[in-house]
Structure formats: structure tokens, C-alpha cells
């Protein structure tokens, strides 16, 4: 290290040879700063300034060199239409938790139970049961529907709406065969049609300003299906119908829990829904729960898991259990409160008068039956189609547009044969009487060991 007297001598000698003016130093700052990065470069001026920068020479007007701040990484934002995969936004692999609701009554102890906390920890660490798969699917649903609700407007075709939702879902979930993708066909049922309608190829149906549109779509990650739905109107006549059904769904979510009997839960839903009326053309019409539709448990790669939550009180003593995964789904109607499929067959037989058949077009929804019987197929085309269905969808529901998308063509005969043989189940549109209006809301809940998580909850509903 050079001593202070030696430094002064160097400075003095430099001044006698060629005085360094303050202006010159300022002008040459950038050049000298660059030289400072390479030891030995810059000659006498570098030596003096280097020692000044390190505090060995003090003087007025001398300032310490500021370190350049590294630019902060910009947070990845979702686009509109949504196309950014969630793994780019949530790089940690941890996705937002849904709404947490504590259990009530005899199950409040679960919140602080060490045993139940341990059970939850084990569930999170197991790849097959981790909640992150469910939460990832739920976040995809929230982001897609947030933009879809702004996008959907009268004058659009049903196909245009369905493709907007499905393209967004595939992009955000980063579709990968049966590992991640669309959970089931996008339901866009209109007016008196309550469920199971999605456009087939060539459908030219256009959304009208007076329509009541049910938007029901799903996302799955490793077979954990997120199922949620909402209703849109574009003028106020049926706002009370929409309000009634949303309130009934929230009641079902609130009252659901471990050990709750399904028949009693249905009674709470019914009571809420029937407390509403809709005024149409000066006439008050009661809102009725659709008695032969229901919410349902969800199994791995299976949208209907075996347990059902009907919408009217009944004697079902089946209990909800720890670990159950449920879609709490309610439908309300200004009609008779019962639906038939598109060929006029009642979904559940009722002792009262039959409904008028309401044709709603071709069937669009299908699913391969779990543990379907092994039967000989006489059509070669049916064998080939079954192989395609199994490899592309497994037991997840699909529609005819999805078959078109994977390259199938002229498949209707083969598809109907698979239905007739009991290998594939068809799901025709389900409708109340003509002139009725129906609405739907749905949330997916997870009955964790310690708390109930409403995984699909968002700021919108």
C-alpha cells in the first residue's frame, strides 16, 4: 500500500506536469469509472482517484461512487385473452389457498387438533393427494372466468364463447395429455335448458340480450377436477332468480361439513332458494329448486363420485366424510322445477304429471363409464373410437367438438354403438318447460381434516 506522503508527492508531480481541472475530471468520469474496473489501467489519475474513492485522501467536493442497483425482475402478468401458463406466474409451485371456513358444532375441535394437523401435513406431502393440484386448477378457473365474464356479450355465438374459455383453460393449465387440461366440456345452457349443453360443430346459436346463460366449466390437474359455475344475464328481469340460486349455493357451502347428512343439507338449500320470488311482467313467480338435479362428490378423473346433494329435503342419511371433495351445485327455475332430457325423458321419475318434451338439439356430452363392461364390438370403427377416447380422455367427460379436435371424423355411428353397448354414457341437454328460466351456481369444496376449504371461491362469487 502506498503511504500518504508518497501519495501527496504523486499528486504534486502530476499538478506540475499537467494540472487536472475539475471540469476535466467531471467530463472524464465515465471513462475513468470504466478504467477503475481494471486494476492498473488509467495511469496516475486512476491511482489518485482510486485511493480517494477508498477514503485514503479526503477533500471537499469528493463523493463516493454509487453502486448501480440491479433492476428488479418484473412480475409476470396474465394476458387478455389469458395465455400465460400458471407455472410462469407461480414459479414456486405454490398456488393460492381457497376460502377457509371453520367447521361448526361438534367439529370445532378439528381446527386445533395436532392429530388432524399431522393428517393434513401428510396429505399435502403425498403426490396423489396434495392440495396444490386442486389449487392450481382453481386458480386457472378464477383467471379464465374473470376474463370470460368481461368477454361474453350478446351477439356472440356459443362456439365463440366456448372456445374462448377452453383455449384459455388449456393455456393456463399448460395442457399435457391426461396429466392436466380441461375437466369437462364447457356448459353454455340457455334459458329453460339447465345443464349439459355445449355447441357441436356447425352450431350457429347466438347469445341474445334477454337470455339467461349458465357457464359451467372445469379444469383438472392429475385427475383432481375443479368444477364451478355461474350465471350471466344482460338485462335485469331475472336478477332475483340469479340472486336466489347464488344464495342457495352459498348456503350449501356454509352448511356442508364432516358428518353432515346429505338429506338435511338439501333442506337448507331448498329453504334459501324458495325464499325468493321473481317479478316478470307484473307477476310474482316463486323460485323453485330443480328437484331432480344435484351437487355431487368428485373422485379422481371422475366428475360424479357417487354421493349426491339434492336440492330438496329428503331422507338420505349418507354423511359427508373427512377428505371428501364435493361440488355444491344448485339450480333454480321459474318453471316446474324438474328437468327432462332433450328427448323428453324425465331424469328422475316423479308421481306428478309428466313434463312436456322440450327438444334442445343433439346430444353433445359423453363420458366413458368407469369399469365399463367388456363386450365384443362388431364395428371396427367403434373399436378404433374407443381406443381414441381412452387415450385422450380416459373417464373424463368429452364432447363432439373434442373428438373433432383430436382428429376423429365420421364417428357418430361408432359413438352411438359405444353408448348402446354401455361403454360410453351420453348426457343430453336437461331442460325445464319452454318459457321457464333457469339459473345455476356451483363451488367446489374440500373437507380437510382441520377446516373446510372453498377452493373455487373468488372475488366474483
Annotated binding site: 196, 216, 227, 296, 304, 329, 442
Grid coordinates belonging to 318? 349418507
Q: Which residues contact 33 (CB under 8 A, 6 or more apart)?
A: 65
User: Is there a catalytic annotation at residue 365?
Assistant: no
358 phi/psi in degrees, rounded to 5:
-125, 95
Which residue out of 141, 220, 296, 443 is catalytically annotated? Answer: 296
Q: CA–CA separation, 439 vs 9, rounded Å?
A: 91
Which residue out of 139, 166, 203, 227 is catalytically annotated? Answer: 227
Which residue out of 329, 341, 408, 432 is catalytically annotated? Answer: 329
DSSP label of 357: P
DSSP run (H or E) holding 183: strand 180-190
Q: Is 352 exposed, middle or buried (0-12, 13-18, 19+ CB in 10 A)?
A: exposed
User: Is there a catalytic annotation at residue 97?
Assistant: no
Q: Which residues are bridge partners to 366 per DSSP?
A: 398, 426
The binding site for substrate comprises 196, 304
Rounded (10°) CA dihedral 375, 379, 381, 383:
20
Which own/partner pairs from 276-281 qualify as long-range (CB within 8 Å, at least 24 positions apart)? 276/240, 276/241, 276/243, 276/244, 276/247, 276/332, 277/240, 278/237, 278/238, 278/240, 278/241, 278/244, 278/334, 278/437, 279/240, 280/237, 280/238, 280/334
Q: CA–CA separation, 139 vs 327, rounded Å?
A: 16
**Residue 178: other Cβ atoms inside 10 A:** 16
Question: What is the distance of C-alpha 14 from the center of its chain?
Answer: 72
DSSP letters, 286-315, are: E-EE-TT-EEEE-BTTBS--S-EEESS---
User: Is there a catalytic annotation at residue 304?
Assistant: yes
Which residue out of 139, 166, 203, 216 is catalytically annotated? Answer: 216
DSSP label of 423: S
Which residue out of 304, 316, 322, 426 is catalytically annotated? Answer: 304
User: Is there a catalytic annotation at residue 115?
Assistant: no
Which residue out of 291, 341, 442, 453 is catalytically annotated? Answer: 442
Grid coordinates belonging to 169? 383453460
The binding site for a divalent metal cation comprises 216, 227, 296, 329, 442
Q: CA–CA separation, 357 vs 363, rounded Å?
A: 15
DSSP run (H or E) holding 405: helix 400-405
Q: CA–CA separation, 301 vs 324, rounded Å?
A: 15
Q: Which residues are catalytic?
A: 216, 227, 296, 304, 329, 442
Amino acid at each position: 500500500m502506498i503511504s500518504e506522503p508518497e501519495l501527496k508527492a504523486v499528486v504534486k508531480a502530476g499538478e506540475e506536469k499537467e494540472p487536472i481541472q475539475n471540469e476535466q475530471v467531471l467530463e472524464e468520469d465515465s471513462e475513468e469509472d470504466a478504467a477503475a474496473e481494471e486494476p492498473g489501467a488509467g495511469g496516475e489519475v486512476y491511482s489518485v482517484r482510486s485511493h480517494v474513492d477508498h477514503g485514503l485522501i479526503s477533500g471537499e467536493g469528493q463523493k463516493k461512487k454509487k453502486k448501480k442497483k440491479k433492476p428488479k425482475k418484473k412480475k409476470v402478468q396474465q394476458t387478455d385473452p389469458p395465455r400465460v401458463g400458471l407455472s410462469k406466474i407461480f414459479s414456486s409451485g405454490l398456488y393460492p389457498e381457497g376460502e377457509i371456513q371453520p367447521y361448526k358444532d361438534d367439529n370445532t375441535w378439528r381446527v386445533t387438533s395436532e392429530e388432524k394437523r399431522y393428517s393434513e401435513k401428510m396429505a399435502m406431502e403425498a403426490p396423489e393427494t396434495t392440495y396444490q393440484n386442486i389449487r392450481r386448477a382453481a386458480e386457472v378457473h378464477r383467471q379464465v372466468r374473470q376474463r370470460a365474464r368481461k368477454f361474453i356479450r350478446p351477439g356472440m355465438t356459443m362456439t365463440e364463447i366456448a372456445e374462448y374459455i377452453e383455449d384459455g383453460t388449456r393455456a393456463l393449465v399448460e395442457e399435457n395429455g391426461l396429466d392436466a387440461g380441461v375437466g369437462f366440456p364447457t356448459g353454455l345452457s340457455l334459458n329453460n335448458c339447465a345443464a349439459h349443453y355445449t355447441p357441436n360443430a356447425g352450431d350457429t346459436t347466438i347469445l341474445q340480450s334477454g337470455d339467461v346463460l349458465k357457464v359451467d366449466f372445469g379444469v383438472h390437474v392429475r385427475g383432481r377436477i375443479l368444477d364451478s359455475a355461474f350465471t350471466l344475464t344482460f338485462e335485469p328481469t331475472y336478477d332475483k332468480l340469479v340472486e336466489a340460486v347464488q344464495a342457495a349455493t352459498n348456503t350449501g357451502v356454509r352448511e356442508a361439513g364432516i358428518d353432515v347428512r346429505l338429506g338435511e343439507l338439501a333442506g337448507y338449500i331448498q329453504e334459501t332458494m324458495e325464499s325468493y320470488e321473481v317479478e316478470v311482467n307484473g307477476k310474482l313467480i316463486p323460485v323453485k329448486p330443480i328437484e331432480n338435479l344435484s351437487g355431487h362428490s368428485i373422485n379422481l378423473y371422475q366428475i360424479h363420485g357417487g354421493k349426491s346433494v339434492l336440492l330438496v329435503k329428503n331422507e338420505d342419511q349418507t354423511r359427508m366424510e373427512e377428505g371428501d371433495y364435493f361440488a355444491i351445485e344448485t339450480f333454480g327455475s321459474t318453471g316446474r322445477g324438474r328437468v327432462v332430457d332433450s328427448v323428453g325423458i324425465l331424469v328422475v321419475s316423479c308421481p306428478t304429471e309428466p313434463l312436456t318434451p322440450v327438444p334442445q338439439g343433439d346430444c353433445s356430452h359423453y363420458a366413458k363409464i368407469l369399469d365399463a363392461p367388456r363386450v365384443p364390438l362388431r364395428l371396427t370403427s367403434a373399436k378404433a373410437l374407443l381406443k381414441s377416447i381412452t387415450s385422450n380422455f380416459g373417464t373424463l367427460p368429452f364432447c363432439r367438438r373434442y373428438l373433432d379436435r383430436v382428429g376423429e371424423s365420421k364417428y357418430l355411428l361408432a359413438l352411438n354403438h359405444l353408448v348402446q353397448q354401455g361403454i360410453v354414457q351420453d348426457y343430453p341437454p336437461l331442460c325445464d318447460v319452454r318459457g321457464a328460466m333457469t339459473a345455476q351456481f356451483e363451488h367446489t369444496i374440500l373437507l380437510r381434516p382441520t377446516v373446510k376449504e372453498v377452493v373455487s371461491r373468488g372475488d366474483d362469487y
